[in-house]
């Protein structure tokens, strides 16, 4: 049986780990266990297990079957997941999401991954919003996303 897939998660994982391996070429990427949870407001259907006071409830379905809200939710997922991977694998002096450089790097990497997973170049405003980066989007620079259609062409260390 083929394991379930989620193109946004898989593409973000590929892009982030490729970036980490290029940034730290002599460092081995150690395995990690990943759990993806979301605020109840992320989903368009409320959780069936509403007895907990937690904002993060088990919906009892795989991520690919969850009814998300739309309105940039895939961009938010890709951006948050990419940020989590970069924070986990890179030293803080290499990636700090609280700095302008860190936000710009996160935006560039998440935008490239989101375009690839989505299979098209969207406006980019959803990723810019999710990454809190200035809105330098695919709408104003479509060639930027076209040339980042694979992990082989990732944002540089400076941007």
Q: What is the pLDDT of residues 124-137, one digit of tens each?
A: 888 988 887 554 44
* pLDDT higher at 141 or 1: 1
Task: Give, as one character, the DSSP assignment of residue 68.
Answer: B
d(CA 38, CA 130): 14
| pLDDT bucket at 3, cuts 50 / 70 / 90 | low
In-domain check, residue 54: no
Collect all residues with Cβ–Cβ distance below 8 Å to 33 and sequence separation of at least 6.
Answer: none
The reported pTM is 0.72
Mean pLDDT of 96-114: 94
Full residue range of the structural domain in which residue 124 is found: 7-21+71-159
Number of domains in the chain: 1
Q: What's the mean pLDDT when you consider all of the chain?
A: 77
Asked, for residue 2, whether it belongs to a domain, the answer is: no
CA distances from 80 to 19, 27, 53, 105 (A): 16, 23, 23, 13
Does residue 35 sit within a domain? no
Inter-CA distances, 146 with 59, 120, 124, 127, 153, Å: 36, 9, 13, 16, 10
- Is 51 inside any structural domain? no
Span 11-20, pLDDT tens digits? 999 999 999 9
Nearest Cα to Cα of residue 38 among 69, 17, 4, 14: 69
Does residue 99 belong to any structural domain of this protein?
Answer: yes
Percent of the chain residues past pLDDT 90, beyond the cut: 38
% the chain with pLDDT above 70: 59
Within a domain: 111: yes
Domain assignment of residue 102, yes or no: yes
66 lies in some domain: no
């Amino acid at each position: 049986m083929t394991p379930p897939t989620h193109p946004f998660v898989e593409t973000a994982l590929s892009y982030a780990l490729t970036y980490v391996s290029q940034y730290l070429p002599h460092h081995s990427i150690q395995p990690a266990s990943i759990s993806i949870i979301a605020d109840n407001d992320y989903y368009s259907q409320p959780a069936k297990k509403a007895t907990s006071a937690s904002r993060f409830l088990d919906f009892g379905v795989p991520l690919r079957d969850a009814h998300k809200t739309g309105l940039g939710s895939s961009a938010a997922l890709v951006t948050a997941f990419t940020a989590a991977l970069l924070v986990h694998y890179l030293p803080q002096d290499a990636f700090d999401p609280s700095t302008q450089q860190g936000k710009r790097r996160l935006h560039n990497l998440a935008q490239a991954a989101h375009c690839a997973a989505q299979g098209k170049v969207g406006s980019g405003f959803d990723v810019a919003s999710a990454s809190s980066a200035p809105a330098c989007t695919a709408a104003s620079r479509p060639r930027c996303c076209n040339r980042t259609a694979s992990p082989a062409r990732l944002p540089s260390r400076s941007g």
